[in-house]
């Protein structure tokens, strides 16, 4: 089992390695570059052993690495005799494009800890893996075949990373999101319901990583303050949050370590920033930065992208965070489809107000991500005068982010769709959001 161990997707790959590393008859190789991957594949095939080469793909990787290069790598591996598989956000959102444009043998749709394990076991046992749920492929007649969605996993049943290899990364404490923001893949990839690791399971993992010598530890969650909740709500489950944090804080202190929650890589929703939630955070976490997802200063755009909070919620969250000694870092996205110049000025005015209150601004540009409702919509153009104001904010040290690079990526993704590389128009697969053209986004 060969993984193309690309830095930007290592957390996802680590979870898969943890799931399959102990299967009898499977040897897992993590290969950091193409020459290593090709050489290892050739050695395996020369030994007459079965080779499975796996890629976890983000849509942006098709631009950064070049989809032609990825296709060339896949073709080479197939010529050598490897089975090629792809999973992750991009293949899940664009399975047909991944199979046809990129040439993979199989696509794993959604989370793959369970499905990959069953896939490898079926190969070992001489069974047909195409019968499994969660897998898509092109059959001998050129038809797209998808076995249906696999049941969501219980996070407690799977290790988050292969610590026995000395590999450690932030632990995913929550998966799924009930909000379904239209620009985001999370709900559509992992479901519209929160699933949490139990506090006992998280504590066991934390004990282990601190014994490995880790001093500062972080967590992965679509919303750090949603721990213990099961559905969309303005209320925070304070008891569950404090139970989790008190357990892991005790372990961290015992090992002279620190825990960080609500800072990268786990932001918080603005309506969940309350006096009660901040009191719990301040009691246990070491970070004094709090990342708050605002995304827009326009009420119209917030409704358009189905954020589920208001501009006033953002202002209140920043005000409270500052009162409790946190420095708010507030996310904003520009270039959202159908965003007008007036909407952008509303965001700009809110940004200036939040800066005066003590916040820093994390600037983003909208990126069309297949599998999300806005995944095939063109970005809105940002007028030069607004870009000029954004650069002033960055130049003053009050803002930061890769929004300029993201704008370039976004339009290159548009080009890939127009070339038929991403979500070809002929793609009409039940169960997937498909679109007839860029623009209105009529869905099937």
Band the pLDDT of 423: cuts 50, 70, 90. Answer: confident
- Phi then psi for 138, rounded to 5 degrees? -100, 125
Q: State pLDDT tens for residues 256-281.
A: 999 999 998 889 999 999 999 999 99
Q: Average model confidence (pLDDT) for the chain? A: 93
Alpha-carbon Rg for the chain, nearest whole angstrom, is 22
Q: In the predicted model, is pLDDT for residue 438 greater than 60? A: no
Q: State pLDDT tens for residues 384-419.
A: 999 999 999 999 999 999 999 999 999 999 999 999
* CATH no. of 288-428: 3.30.750.200
Looking at the chain, the whole-number percentage of residues with pLDDT higher than 90 is 93
- Contact call for residues 309 and 301 (beta carbons, < 8 A): no
Count how many residues are written for the chain. Answer: 444
Q: How far apart are CA 403 and CA 381, in angstroms?
A: 13
* DSSP SS3 for 211: helix
Q: In the predicted model, is pLDDT for residue 431 greater than 80? A: no
Q: In the predicted model, is pLDDT for residue 437 greater than 80? A: no
Q: In the predicted model, is pLDDT for residue 427 greater than 70? A: no
Q: State pLDDT tens for residues 21-71.
A: 999 999 999 999 999 999 999 999 999 999 999 999 999 999 999 999 999
Looking at 3.10.129.10, 3.40.50.2300, 3.90.79.10, 3.30.750.210, the CATH number of the domain 170-284 comes to 3.30.750.210
pLDDT attached to residue 87 = 97
- Contact call for residues 259 and 234 (beta carbons, < 8 A): no
Band the pLDDT of 424: cuts 50, 70, 90. Answer: low
Q: State pLDDT tens for residues 99-132.
A: 999 999 999 999 999 999 999 999 999 999 999 9
- Contact call for residues 407 and 335 (beta carbons, < 8 A): yes
Dihedral angle sign, alpha carbons of residues 276, 279, 281, 283: negative
Band the pLDDT of 435: cuts 50, 70, 90. Answer: very low
pTM: 0.92
Tokens standing for 411? 């339009």
Dihedral angle sign, alpha carbons of residues 350, 356, 357, 360: positive
User: Do the strands 195-196 and 174-175 form a parallel or antiparallel pair, or are they unpaired?
Assistant: antiparallel
SS (H, E, C) 232-265: CCCCCCHHHHHHHHHHHHHHHHHCCCEEECCCCC
Q: State pLDDT tens for residues 203-238.
A: 999 999 999 999 999 999 999 999 999 888 989 999
Q: In the predicted model, is pLDDT for residue 428 greater than 70? A: no
Residue with tokens 């127009």: 418
Closest by CA to 209, choosing from 245, 247, 171, is 171
pLDDT attached to residue 258 = 97
Q: State pLDDT tens for residues 146-178.
A: 989 999 999 999 999 999 999 999 999 999 999
- Contact call for residues 352 and 310 (beta carbons, < 8 A): no
Q: How far apart are CA 396 and CA 227, in angstroms?
A: 36
126: left (phi over 0), alpha (psi -120 to 50) or beta: left
Over residues 172-192, mean pLDDT: 95
pLDDT attached to residue 429 = 38
Q: State pLDDT tens for residues 356-391.
A: 999 999 999 999 999 999 998 999 999 999 999 999
Domain segments of the chain as ranges? 2-146, 170-284, 288-428
170-284 and 288-428 share one fold = yes
Q: State pLDDT tens for residues 277-315.
A: 999 999 999 999 999 999 999 999 999 999 999 999 999
Residues 6+ apart with CB under 8 A from 127: none
Q: How far apart are CA 442 and CA 444, in angstroms?
A: 7
Superfamily holding 2-146: Cobalamin-binding domain (3.40.50.280)
Residue 141's CB: how many other CB atoms inside 10 A?
6
């Amino acid at each position: 089992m060969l993984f193309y161990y690309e830095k930007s997707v290592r957390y996802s790959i680590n979870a898969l390695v943890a799931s399959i590393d102990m299967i009898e008859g499977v040897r897992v190789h993590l290969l950091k570059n193409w020459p290593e991957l090709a050489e290892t594949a050739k050695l395996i095939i020369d030994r007459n052993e079965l080779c499975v080469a796996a890629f976890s793909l983000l849509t942006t990787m098709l631009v950064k690495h070049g989809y032609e290069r990825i296709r060339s790598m896949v073709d080479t591996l197939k010529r050598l005799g490897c089975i090629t598989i792809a999973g992750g956000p991009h293949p899940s959102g664009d399975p047909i494009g991944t199979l046809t444009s990129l040439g993979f043998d199989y696509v794993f749709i959604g989370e793959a800890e369970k499905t990959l394990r069953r896939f490898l076991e079926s190969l070992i046992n001489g069974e047909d893996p195409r019968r499994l749920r969660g897998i898509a492929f092109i059959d001998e007649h050129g038809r797209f075949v998808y076995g249906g969605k696999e049941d969501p996993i219980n996070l407690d049943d799977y290790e988050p990373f292969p610590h026995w290899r000395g590999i450690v990364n932030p632990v995913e404490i929550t998966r799924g999101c009930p909000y379904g923001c239209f620009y985001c893949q999370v709900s559509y990839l992992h479901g519209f319901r929160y699933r949490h690791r139990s506090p006992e399971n998280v504590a066991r993992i934390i004990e282990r990583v601190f014994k490995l010598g880790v001093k500062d530890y972080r967590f992965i969650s679509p919303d750090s303050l949603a721990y213990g909740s099961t559905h969309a709500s303005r209320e925070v489950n304070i008891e569950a949050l404090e139970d989790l944090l008190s357990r892991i804080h005790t372990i961290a202190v015992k090992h002279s370590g620190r825990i960080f929650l609500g800072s990268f890589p786990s932001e918080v929703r603005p309506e969940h920033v309350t006096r009660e939630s901040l009191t719990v955070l301040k009691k246990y976490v070491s970070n004094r930065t709090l990342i708050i997802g605002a995304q827009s200063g326009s009420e119209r755009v917030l409704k358009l992208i189905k954020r589920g909070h208001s501009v006033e919620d953002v202002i209140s969250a920043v005000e409270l965070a500052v009162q409790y000694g946190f420095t708010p870092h507030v996310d904003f996205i520009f270039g959202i489809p159908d965003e007008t110049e007036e909407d952008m000025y509303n965001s700009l005015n809110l940004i200036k107000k939040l800066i005066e209150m003590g916040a820093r601004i994390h600037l983003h540009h909208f990126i069309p991500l297949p599998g999300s409702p806005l995944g095939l919509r063109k970005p809105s153009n940002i007028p030069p005068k607004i870009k000029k104001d954004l650069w002033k904010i960055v130049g003053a040290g009050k803002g930061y982010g890769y929004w300029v690079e993201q704008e370039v990526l976004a339009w290159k993704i548009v080009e890939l769709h127009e070339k038929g590389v991403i979500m070809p128009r002929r793609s009409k697969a039940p169960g997937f959001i498909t679109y007839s053209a860029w623009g209105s986004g009529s869905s099937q």
